Amino acid sequence: MNAHDSSIDLSAYFERIGFSGPARPAPTLDTLRALHLLHPQAIPFENLDVLIGRQVSLDLDLIQRKLVTERRGGYCFEQNRLFRSVLQTLGFRVRSFAGRVLWGREAQDMPPRTHMLLLVDLDEGTYLADVGFGGMTLSAPLALQTNLEQITPHGAFRLDDTDGDAPGYILRALVNGAWTNVYRFDLGPQYDADYETANHFVSTHPQSIFLHNLLAARLAPGKRLGLFNRRFSVHDEREGSDQRELDGVADLRRVLESELGIRLPDSPDLDAALARLP
């Protein structure tokens, strides 16, 4: 169903996420949990390339250069392509699928498949792995079981069966005491060519949220950090949530670099793009 990537630089990736375990850890649930926690705390979600008019490539070598060597971030197709490649290189059995984003939408909406997610088959069962969903990115794999509240280092999640004629799953997050839809997916096969098409849509279509808005996020121990245009949000598991509006390009650059950990692209178009944000 998906190509097996074999050109991943494990040592560089482990250094990037701060993994201090063995050079080639065994493909176990403990390993998956360790990598899944570290990855979104080190490699932020961001769409700066789309915002400044650069093409987003899904070539693995270019993703590694951007997210690992250049210490940038990326969105789901880049993040989960990289994570899939790491897991496959370690010997995990990984399958990738496509989701329909429900976050921020009306319950009855049926949007296109614009999100990439992974399923990892282990002796203990099948687990959902996803290191690329912005401010609601998972920090732990979830057992592919429905009607089960699963606690992660960054909140509670649940998988439910979809209703109607299209069988599948809905990922929900517990937000302010209410179960909130994140995305829905089924187990229909997806190929790398499908992700290329979806990537082209989200990076070029006028209706794509990425085209005219800045989205950036990172996890930290006990915290979720998120930036939507000029609104910077910090959700602390113990202290609650705080939001503030950033003032000008300099403030945006500072938060992107120091709070979200993004090494900003060297582009003459960046400041102009940041200045245009609503």
Active site residues per annotation:
76, 115, 130
Among the listed residues 65, 226, 209, the one whose alpha carbon sits nearest the alpha carbon of residue 136: 226
Q: Which residues pair with 229 in a beta bridge?
A: none
What does the alpha-carbon distance between residue 100 and residue 109 come to, in Å, rounded to a whole number? Answer: 10
Spatial contact of 211 and 276, defined as CB atoms under 8 Å apart: no
Spatial contact of 1 and 95, defined as CB atoms under 8 Å apart: yes
Structure tokens belonging to residue 160: 């439910």
Spatial contact of 75 and 132, defined as CB atoms under 8 Å apart: yes
Spatial contact of 223 and 245, defined as CB atoms under 8 Å apart: no
Among the listed residues 126, 121, 123, 156, the one whose alpha carbon sits nearest the alpha carbon of residue 139: 156
DSSP 74: B
Spatial contact of 237 and 222, defined as CB atoms under 8 Å apart: yes
DSSP 108: T
What does the alpha-carbon distance between residue 29 and residue 122 come to, in Å, rounded to a whole number? Answer: 7
